[in-house]
Each structure stands twice: as C-alpha cells, then as structure tokens.
Amino acid sequence: MTLPGSPFLAYQGADLFLDDVPLRDLVKQHGSPLYVYSRRAMLAALAPYQRALQGRAHLVCYAVKANSNLAVLQTFAKAGCGFDIVSEGELARVLAAGGEAGKVVFSGVGKTRREMRLALEAGVRCFNVESTAELEVLSQVASEIGRTARVSLRVNPDVDAGTHPYISTGLKGNKFGVAHEVALATYRRAASLPGIEVVGIDCHIGSQITEVSPYLDALDRVLDLVEAIEAEGIRIHHLDLGGGLGITYTDEVPPAADVLIGQLLAKIDARGHGHREIVFEPGRSLVGNAGVLLTEVMFLKPGEQKNFCVVDAAMNDLMRPALYEAYMSIVNTQQPDGATEVWDVVGPVCESGDWLGRDRALNVQAGDVLAVLSAGAYGMTMASNYNTRGRAAELMVDGNQVWVVREREAVADLFKLEMLLPV
C-alpha cells in the first residue's frame, strides 16, 4: 500500500511508522488524539526551496500560521529560515523559538496599531501592507515612536490560483492585497509618507496550488508593476512571491518546490530582474506532509444507509474537513488482514459537519488507532475547544527519538480564565 505525501511515513510489516517510530505505540504512551510531526520530513521539504535559491540573495519565510508549535518554529529558525507572521502572537512565538525579528515579514489585512508598534520595536524586516488605509496608520505609528517601517505592498494580481474558493486569495473579489490598478498610486503614496521606506513588493495568490502556471501569470503581473514603479524612481529591492504550493493529500501532483522556483527564476532572469532578492512564504508545503493526527476508534456503528466509525478526534482537533470539505487520507496504524468495509469516520462533537472522512474503505475495529495523514499544516493551529474538549498533545520525532512538544490540554485549563458571577 502506498501512502500519499511523505516518504517518511511507511508500513514496516503491519505497523505504520513515522521515521523510525511505530505510531500505534505513541498513542499507548501519550494518549489520543495526538499530533505527531517528523523533523526530518520538515527539513526534507525545506531542502528543495533552499537548493533552488542557492547562489542568490533570498529568504524563505516559513508561514507560521500553518503550524506554530515552538519546536516547529525552532526547527526552521535553526535551518536559517525567516518567518511570515500575521499577528502579535505569532511574532511572540517566533521570538520565543529563537527566530530573528530581522527575518520576519508581517502580513495580514488587519494589523492593529499595537501590533504595528510591537513589530517596529522588535525590528521586523518588512511589513506586507494590504491597503492605503493601513499604510497611513503604519506611517503614523512609526513616526510616533521614531522608527521607519520597511514596507512591501501586497498586490493582488487578479489571477485564478485554481484552488478552493476559501483558500484562493489573488482574485479581484478577495479581501487581500491592493488591486493591480491602484498599486502604482499606492506606491507613490508610500514613497511620500514619513516613517515609511519602500523595500519590496509581494503577492500571495492562494493555497494548495498544484500548477505552476498561476505563479508564472502572477509573476508577470508583478514584474510589470515593478517596472512601472521603478520608472518613477521608487526602488524595489525584493520580490516576495508568497506561499501556496500544494501538497499531496490523495492524488494531487503539485510541482516540486525546486521545479516551481526554477521556472520562476528563469522568468525573473529573462525579464532582467535577476539582481533582486527573492522571498518565499511557504507554509503548507513545508509541514503538511510531515505530520499525522492519530485517533483511536471508539465505536463502530453500522447502519442501514451509512456505517459510522466513531473516533476520539473531532472537528475541533482538525477542522479542514468541516471547513473546506477537505479530503484527508485516513489509514489504520496497524494494517490488519482481511476485507475492508466503507465507513464515515466521524468525531464525537455535536455537529453533522463533524466528520474527518467520508466513504472510506477501512478494515477497523474498536480500539484501533487511525492516522489522518497530511495533518501537519492547518491542523493544530486551527484547533478549538468546542464542546469543551481540550486540545491534543503534539509530539516531534526524528529517527527513533520522540519529544513531547506540547502537552495535552487539561479540562481545568479550559475554564481557568472564566469566573462565576459574584451574586
């Protein structure tokens, strides 16, 4: 049986291993549900980015929102990465994990004044500004504290990334970025404002992109703008081409990162922009296939129309299926002999939308441990406490080593910030 995604995940005999660790044993030791990530798999996913960019000024800024566990951030910081953040909280995590503020780019349509000030004081490398209104406020905040905000405008190239509407961000109807038509005027405004220094341009057209062509189209649009901006005497130092590269959840065949980057660099060079620093902001493609969510089967509930396999992980642990109807592969961590049946794998939360997989051919029994694959990105970071369920523990493995990198949330943690009324 071949598994989608990671070469670090494979059956040895009947048992599913991540690196050299049998996954079922981890649940016996650490309980269920449980997120497990492979450090090797993360570094292996980073390698083609670094390889393709070698020999030119570049920065790979890992998009923290994909998986913000401190040990994950530490892994990428040690590997030389910068970070793409979208909040004060993510900045604090990056610093706590040993990341450098000078390698941080700050994205997002709704940065608060407080977040701007904290990021300026920390010395982030660049603000990816998404509107004129934000630019004006950033100029005020920077001037007030006597700092200069280095900025890049996130331009909306109006290309269709060919992905799910909720994760497509580069079309006109999206809330993100400055429309292509007004970008030049916004750059002029930026160049005139106190406390603002223009340093780059960026775009991020969506997520789970499995084709090269939308990137190439967006790049052409961005380079057109760069040429128009520089014709007015405003210097653009770096090109930030965002993140968004897809992964294999089932049978998608996204381009390898080095192939994608090779094609982008060829266009950049061909159009005479080869001297610019190149920034990428990958999230999913660095961590998605490096992680699994393990969950124990509680009850089998065969029915007339549907067979339900009730597991102890739910939409609060892993929201992607409920939110995007995302398909995530589900396998048994102990491949049993015998026939499979078709099951809907569902959680205990009181919502019909609480399912992890529909119509899955599985050979399962109560007490088995299932692995939801490709759960390293947008899994734990989207987890909630809905139904007053504590969030799962997280483990990191490397070879045969295993570290707990986040403890399971206890029930007492869940309402410790609440209080009863005095009367």
Ligand X SMILES: *Cc1c(COP(=O)(O)O)cnc(C)c1O
Least CB distance to ligand X at residue 322 (A)? 19
Residues 21-80 contacting ligand X, CB under 6 A: 63, 65-66
d(CA 18, CA 15): 10
Which of 200, 282, 291, 347 binds ligand X (CB under 6 A)? It is 282
- Cβ atoms of 61 and 104 within 8 Å: the answer is yes
Which region among 187-195, 281-289, 365-373, 398-406 touches ligand X (by CB under 6 A)? 281-289
Residue in the shown chain whose Cβ atom is closest to ligand X: 283
Q: Is 291 in the site for ligand X (CB under 6 A)?
A: no
d(CA 392, CA 369): 15
Q: For residue 49, give the amino acid letter.
A: Y
Q: Is 82 in the site for ligand X (CB under 6 A)?
A: no
Least CB distance to ligand X at residue 134 (A)? 14
Tell me which residue of 318, 362, 359 sits closest to 340, measured CA to CA.
Answer: 362
Q: Is 129 in the site for ligand X (CB under 6 A)?
A: no
Q: Is 84 in the site for ligand X (CB under 6 A)?
A: yes
406: left (phi over 0), alpha (psi -120 to 50) or beta: beta
Q: Environment class of residue 210 by beta-carbon count within 10 Å: exposed (0-12), middle (13-18) or buried (19+)?
A: middle
Of 17 and 106, nearer to ligand X (C-beta) is 106
Tell me which residue of 115, 52, 81, 77 sits closest to 282, measured CA to CA.
Answer: 81
In Å, how far from its chain's centre is CA 133?
A: 27
350 in catalytic set: yes
Least CB distance to ligand X at residue 12 (A)? 30
Of 26 and 199, nearer to ligand X (C-beta) is 199
Q: Is the dihedral of CA 92, 289, 308, 409 positive or negative?
A: negative
The three-state secondary structure class of 62 is strand
Tell me which residue of 226, 60, 261 sits closest to 155, measured CA to CA.
Answer: 226
Of 153 and 364, nearer to ligand X (C-beta) is 153
Q: Is 320 in the site for ligand X (CB under 6 A)?
A: no
Token pair belonging to 190: 């930026």
Q: Give the per-residue contact string, 205-244, with ligand X (x = CB under 6 A; - = no).
A: --x----------------------------------xxx
Residues 241-270 contacting ligand X, CB under 6 A: 242-245
CA torsion 319-323-325-330 (nearest 10°) is 0
Q: How many residues bind ligand X (CB under 6 A)?
A: 16
Q: Is 379 in the site for ligand X (CB under 6 A)?
A: no
Q: Is 156 in the site for ligand X (CB under 6 A)?
A: no
Task: Note the residues at the interface with ligand X (CB under 6 A).
Answer: 63, 65-66, 84, 107, 204, 207, 242-245, 281-285
Residues taking part in catalysis = 350
